Every structure is written in C-alpha cells, then in structure tokens.
Structure 1
C-alpha cells in the first residue's frame, strides 16, 4: 500500500508517555488500517541490543479495522511487522553545545543519537 493511495483519517504524533506514533488510514480496498511505530516492552532485549550498537529502535505494526466502524479511533492492539534499528549519530558540535547549556544552568535530558543504555 502506497501513501498516495490512501486517505489519512487521523494521526496521533509520537508521545513519550505512550511511546508510540499512530496513524489511521482508509484502506483503498475498503475498511481501515491503523499503523503505529511503538516501543513494546516484551522485546526489551532487542531494544538493548540495538542500543548497545548505538541504533534507535522503531517498531512497525498494523491493525485492520472493520469498515463498519463509524469512529476514527486508533486502536491499541496491533500486529507487529518489524523491528528495525536506525543510525542517528550525534553531531560533533553537540559536546560543546551541551557544555554551554550546563554552564548556563540548563539540564540536558536527551540528545538525538543518545541512548539510556550507554
């Protein structure tokens, strides 16, 4: 299914509390399908192995939704398709930028490419 072939019905942006981003689309052959990128607790070992390799983890999952459903609510239970690790390296200038923030009294919580394991 290509993006240009579907109508996006609803998007829930990534939320650090839910640990997922979801989208609901009208399937071109009828019905609806919900997709999400979600961090799933039962595959913690995969997350950790990717983290040790300095990779960010994405989970790709979907759920078909009966077309008779009137509401466009994005569901919670999905079928996992794939777990992928992507490179997201920290830029060389980040070290100095973090030092500048710390010197100014700013607490740095996360830097893209950083992970909790290392």
Structure 2
C-alpha cells in the first residue's frame, strides 16, 4: 500500500478542482453552442468557408477551446489512472484478508493429536 504525503493529496485535490472548473466551462460552452440558432450558425460557417477565415471566436466559442479540452483530458487521464491504482491496491489487500479468513466447515473431519 502506498503512503501519500499531505502535499501529494493537496496537489491531487487541486488537480481535481481544476478538472471540475474546466468541465463546468466546457458544459457552459456546449450549452451556449446548442442554444444557437442553427440557421445563423450555418450562415456564419458558410461565410467563414467562403473567406477562408475559420475562427472559433467568430462562432461564439472561446479561442482556447481545444487547449481547454486537451487539459481536461490530461487531468481526467491522470485522475483515472490514480483511482484505478487505488482500487487495484484495495482489491489486493482484500484478497490477502480473504486468504487468512477461511469459512468454518462443520462437516470437516476433526484431527486428533
């Protein structure tokens, strides 16, 4: 079992908080994008295609949208890996406990000394 320091725990909690903030920001952008008028969106996209000036900002999305998504993916990947390691460690500890705790079997023959 790995022993964590207070600093490691605080760093992990800060990373989880950052992931929560990024997730909330992404949900806000998705909801805003879903709320856009499709005809207006198509008109904007067509104009952008005709001029060759493709821009997330022109569509009402943040310029750093892809960077935010990549950062969120990195944070989630690390969090899942750490959680998976923790669950596997817990399972291994439980397996050791199960080995030492054998069920009582009343039908087993009694050994005499």
How does the TM-score come out when normalised to structure 2?
Answer: 0.29
Structure with bigger helix share is 2
Structure with bigger strand share is 1
Name which structure has the greater RCO, CA cutoff 8 Å, separation 6+.
2
